[in-house]
Amino acid sequence: MLAMSVDSRFSHKIWQETELSQMVPGGFPYPMLNDPGGRIGAVYGVYDEESGVDVRGRFIIDPDGIIQAVEILTPSVGRNVTEFIRQVQAFQHVRATGEVTPSGWQPGRPTLTPSPALTGKVWTAWKTDMAL
């Protein structure tokens, strides 16, 4: 996991020491990278050239380098860290087992095994209240 913005490493250090360490015991435990000029943000479609900043984007990239999930939010809307962790766990489970994780899946909950027999009958194996 990496965090990245156009801010300098010095800004990241101050953010880590004054903000993140107050929210997360021990601070944010992952590298914070800087993207001067927004070159990486531009590749991922999150760099706002007019304001010179990367908007909030979250990308889950698998070990093969393939983007599996994208979430882009305006700065005024907070992100859901719990949902991010759930999605990473779901992608890891799918990769390890070949099973499918239905909407709202949580570790230990039922999964689906893809097959022609399941086509058009997912409702028999999975109910919406299982997502809660």
**Domains in the chain, CATH or no CATH each:** 3-78 (3.40.30.10), 83-124 (no CATH)
pLDDT at 88: 92
Alpha helix ranges (H) inside 5-97: 9-15, 21-23, 39-43, 81-97
pLDDT at 94: 95
In tens digits, what is the pLDDT along the chain, a chain of 132 residues?
778 888 888 988 888 888 888 887 777 777 888 899 999 999 999 999 999 988 888 899 999 999 999 999 888 888 888 898 899 999 999 999 999 998 889 999 989 998 898 889 888 888 888 777
Distance from C-alpha of 47 to C-alpha of 71, rounded to nearest angstrom: 14
Cβ-proximal residues to 56 (8 Å cutoff; 6+ apart), any chain? 46, 72, 73, 74, 75, 77, 79
